[in-house]
Structures are given as C-alpha cells and as structure tokens.
Amino acid sequence: MGESNYYSIRMHASRINMHVSGAERIVCAQKIESTVSELIGRAMRKDCTPDRVTVTIDDLGNGPLRTLKALDIITVNAPDSSEARTMASDILQNAGVAENAALQALNFLSKGASPSGENMRGAMIIDCRTGERLETDRARGVRASRFDWSDEARERIKKELADNGLSHFRTCEALALATKIAHGPGVIAEICWSDDPDYTAGYVASLKTGYIRFPFMKQIGNKTGGRAIFVDRNGFDARASIDFLQDEPVLIDGTGKYNECGDAIELRRCLKRHSGLDPESSDCLLESLKKT
C-alpha cells in the first residue's frame, strides 16, 4: 500500500444475514487504523448487536480524486409526513420528474420497495418520465459507494449543521451521499427517507434544487424507508451511471449554503435567495408549490 494513496474503507454489519448498519470513508494511509476502529465501534454500538462485521479496504491508487462541492441545504419545516411528501412530490416534478413517476416512487417507498415488501439494500432507479423501475435486482437496488468528506469540509459541515440544530451523524452522511448521486450521469433527482424507526427526516435532492430536507417525512416508529434515483433515459448510459455511483471515488471538499423555511410560501422566498439555483427552475418550483 503506497503512502500517498487514498483508501476506501467500508463497514457492513449484519445479524442472521440481515443488514444492521453500514458506513464508509475515504482516507489516507495514516488514518486507516483509526478509521477502521471508529467504524467497528459504530457497528457494535447499534441496539441490534451484529453477528458479522465486514470491513473492506481498497487502495484507490495515488491519482487525483474527483472532488465535488456539497449541495446547498434547505430545511422545510412541513408539520407532518403527509405535507412533507406532497411538497416533496412537487419539488421532484420541478426537477423534471413526471407526476406519475414521483407518485409511484412515493408509493414504493411507503410500502417497502423490495419485492418482499421489506426495505431494499440500495436505491431504486426510476425512469423520470414513465416511472418504470430500471434496477435489475429489485431487492438490492443500486448502492452508491466510495464517497466521503475531506477532513476540512467535514469539520465545516458538521459545525454548520450543528449550529442549525442538526447534529445527527445521518444528516452529514446523507448529504454526502445525495451530493454524489446528484452528480451521476443522467440523474435528475433523488428522494429518500431513512429506514431507521427513530429517524424521521427525509429529503429530495437534485442539482437544480439542492438538498431539500424535511424533518418529518415519516412517523416515528416506522421502519420502512428507501431511496429512489430518477434518471432521464434520453441518451442514458446505464452502465456509465451505475459505475459512477458504485465505483468512482469522490471526495466532497466544499460546503454549500444553509437555509430554513416553514411552509410553501416561505420556501418560495427561501429559494429566491438560494444562489445555487437556476432562477427559472426555482420559479417553476415556486409555482408548483403554490398549488399545495
């Protein structure tokens, strides 16, 4: 293992062959040991003690890593999951997803998107026009991997999020994952809420809108969650897109802005101030939000 190389470290914990937890990092050689021990500590701290923990370390070589700036964040304080999902659907439509495709995704996510009705291990890939599911394995889906914050950006985003009352490790990780997914070739938007029954937040993310976070995308105690990635099949190269999501290492070395708003009308104002947005797209978004 070369000294100046980067390494991908992935942890997966399971119990009776069921997923318990997972996490991943990209680090330099000097940080491999401490990172492995941190990830194992995290696997063992879960309420459900795993009977198997796998840690995989891959040498990413010493070439330059692709770097990305994190999506801007807007927290929308929709009061309950029903309102949050309605607004999420409108935001998806603004990003280029057909209404029917957005509703189909919400439906799958609500009832458990794997054929058994359980949660998938990864994400659904959905045609943004027809709502057709494109992933070949409907239980596993596609798992985005090999992404992390640079040390400096991690510290900055943790502070920014904590200053806004968001200190849960999941927020920081979901933002990194959403940033990588949004940059996937052919990706139009993504929607997600967690399968953790204690974590009710979810989001819609796209390059057009940034990362729009809803604190209550489901009710507390609900164990059903998942991810849907919407793609535009015009000129779409599925292999290139999936290879990027699964295999291309990406380091997030820049942070975006943070905004907060209380309802659709305020979201409208908030998006107008939101510099990462194409003004036309935010106008459309605002128009569609007016309907809610």
Which residues lie near ligand AMP (CB under 6 A)?
119-120, 122-123, 143-145, 174, 177, 192, 194-196, 225-227
The DSSP output letter for 71 is P
Q: Which is nearer to ligand AMP, 196 or 283 (CB)?
A: 196
For ligand AMP, the closer of residues 90 and 195 by Cβ is 195
Of 143 and 158, which has the nearer Cβ to ligand AMP?
A: 143
- Which of 273, 271, 259 has its CA nearest to residue 94? 271
Rounded to the nearest 10°, the torsion over CA 76, 79, 81, 86 is -60
User: For ligand AMP, which is the closer residue by CB, 204 or 270?
Assistant: 204
Q: Select 124 or 286, whichever has its Cβ closest to ligand AMP.
A: 124
Q: How far apart are CA 199 and CA 18, in angstroms?
A: 19
The DSSP secondary-structure symbol of 29 reads: G
Contact 26, 153 (CB under 8 A): no
Name the residue number minimizing CB distance to ligand AMP.
194
| Cβ atoms of residues 59 and 1 within 8 Å | yes
Amino acid at 255: T
In three-state secondary structure terms, 236 is coil
Nearest to 193 by CA among 251, 108, 69, 130: 108
The minimum distance between CB 19 and ligand AMP, in angstroms, equals 8
In the complex, what is the shortest distance from the CB of residue 114 to ligand AMP, in angstroms, rounded to a whole number? 8
For residue 285, the minimal CB distance to ligand AMP (Å) is 24
Closest approach of ligand AMP to the CB of residue 162, in Å: 19
Comparison of 73 and 277: residue with beta carbon closer to ligand AMP: 73
Q: How far apart are CA 43 and CA 63, in angstroms?
A: 31
- Tell me the C-alpha to C-alpha distance, in Å, between residue 200 and each of 28, 265, 271: 34, 23, 23
Q: How far is the CB of 133 from ligand AMP (least distance, A)?
A: 13
Nearest distance from C-beta of residue 227 to ligand AMP, angstroms? 4
Instruction: State whether residue 288 is helix, strand or coil.
Output: helix
21/209 with CB nearer ligand AMP: 21
Least gap, CB of 125 to ligand AMP (angstroms): 10
